[in-house]
Amino acid sequence: MPAGRRENTVLSLIGATRVVEIAAGGGTIAVKAEYLQPGGSVKDRAARAAIEGARARGALRPGQTVVEMTSGNMGAALAVVCDALAHPFVAVMSEGNSPERARMIRGLGAEVILVPQVDGTAGCVTGGDIGAAAERARAVAREREAFYVDQFNNPDCFAAHERTTGPELRTAYPRLDAFLACVGTGATLIGTLRDLKRSQPQLIGVAVEPFGAAVLGGATVTKPAHILQGTGYGSTPPLWDAGLVDAFVTVSDQEAADERAALGRRGLYVGFSSGANVAAARALLASGRLRANAIVATILCDTGLKY
């Protein structure tokens, strides 16, 4: 996005994010500032692709209401996109997500329905809480004859990263050693790896998981509640592609919180999953698995203002 360019829609502010480099363990962590998009998170790309895709296929009619179950970030992203394309939007959220998220979605002009938690606590949303919110969201979509985005089962969300995040990283770095990300739906990690691995087959794909809920790496759930909101739900997401993922790194709440605080002190005010991604990148660089001067790319998922 060249400085001084004029835009006639907020949709133009989605994507084309910048990368900041952090020196670590004899290598470089390249962090992509996804949190600087209008909805404040990486989800803006998925939301735009889901709505534009559904409109193009005729699955979403002009003016039709859109409903989604969200941890908050997809809700803010859809609020931005739906407003730009004149669709009323209803976000259905677990009450356990931080109140700042509901406030932002309402501020963006959307309706928010909060669903009581099943087994999590405030700030710690479990797979059970997500299940309850998803059930309610489907019911609301039926009642209102709305389009249900269904981000966990929506291939458009994955394609968004394959079409945009991957190519943007490739343009910045013709040779990356690894790409890693926390996993909610898996759209960010899997979609980006789909693109990157086509031209950079040496690249290692890494899933970042919360300690105690690292099911993708083969562990059982011993601690379903953790602070990495929007990720680590203790089950394999429906569109997961195990063939693209070469390694798994587990991050504790303390490590994610410490790294998040360190990022804040560098001028990068982001949320806990961003802290987890950078902590995991440090661990990977320290592991000795990568060449000297390796470059590890990851995502700063959302703004710290949402917590």
Interface residue list for ligand PLP (CB under 6 A): 41-43, 71, 73-74, 182-188, 229-231, 271, 273, 301-302
- Give the rounded distance of the alpha carbon of 52 from its chain centre: 19
Q: Residue ranges of the alpha helices (H) in 93-199? A: 99-107, 127-143, 155-160, 166-172, 187-199
Nearest to ligand PLP by Cβ — which residue? 230
Least distance (Å) between residue 296 CB and ligand PLP: 17
Contact in structure between 126 and 62 (CB atoms under 8 Å): no
Residue 99: both structure tokens together? 């109140």
- Give the rounded distance of the alpha carbon of 192 from its chain centre: 12
Least distance (Å) between residue 213 CB and ligand PLP: 14
Indicate the residue among 212 and 232 with the shorter CB distance to ligand PLP.
Answer: 232
- Parallel/antiparallel/unpaired status of strands 66-69 and 27-32: unpaired
Indicate the residue among 60 and 276 with the shorter CB distance to ligand PLP.
Answer: 276
Least distance (Å) between residue 157 CB and ligand PLP: 7
Indicate the residue among 196 and 294 with the shorter CB distance to ligand PLP.
Answer: 196
- Parallel/antiparallel/unpaired status of strands 247-251 and 147-148: unpaired
Indicate the residue among 237 and 294 with the shorter CB distance to ligand PLP.
Answer: 237
Give the DSSP letter of residue 184: S
Least distance (Å) between residue 215 CB and ligand PLP: 14
Least distance (Å) between residue 238 CB and ligand PLP: 12
Q: How far apart are CA 14 and CA 81, in angstroms?
A: 10
Taking phi over 0 as left and psi of -120 to 50 as alpha, with beta for the rest, 218 belongs to: left
The terminus-to-terminus CA distance of the chain in angstroms comes to 28
Residue 13: both structure tokens together? 């502010």
The 3-state secondary structure of 78-102, one letter per residue? HHHHHHHCCCCEEEEEECCCCHHHH
Indicate the residue among 25 and 123 with the shorter CB distance to ligand PLP.
Answer: 123
Q: Residue ranges of the alpha helices (H) in 218-303? A: 253-265, 272-286
Least distance (Å) between residue 36 CB and ligand PLP: 14
Indicate the residue among 164 and 273 with the shorter CB distance to ligand PLP.
Answer: 273
Least distance (Å) between residue 196 CB and ligand PLP: 15
Dihedral angle computed from the Cα positions of residues 46, 47, 51 and 53, in that order, rounded to the nearest 10 degrees: -10
Q: How far apart are CA 50 and CA 46, in angstroms?
A: 6
Indicate the residue among 78 and 90 with the shorter CB distance to ligand PLP.
Answer: 78
Least distance (Å) between residue 289 CB and ligand PLP: 23
Indicate the residue among 92 and 187 with the shorter CB distance to ligand PLP.
Answer: 187
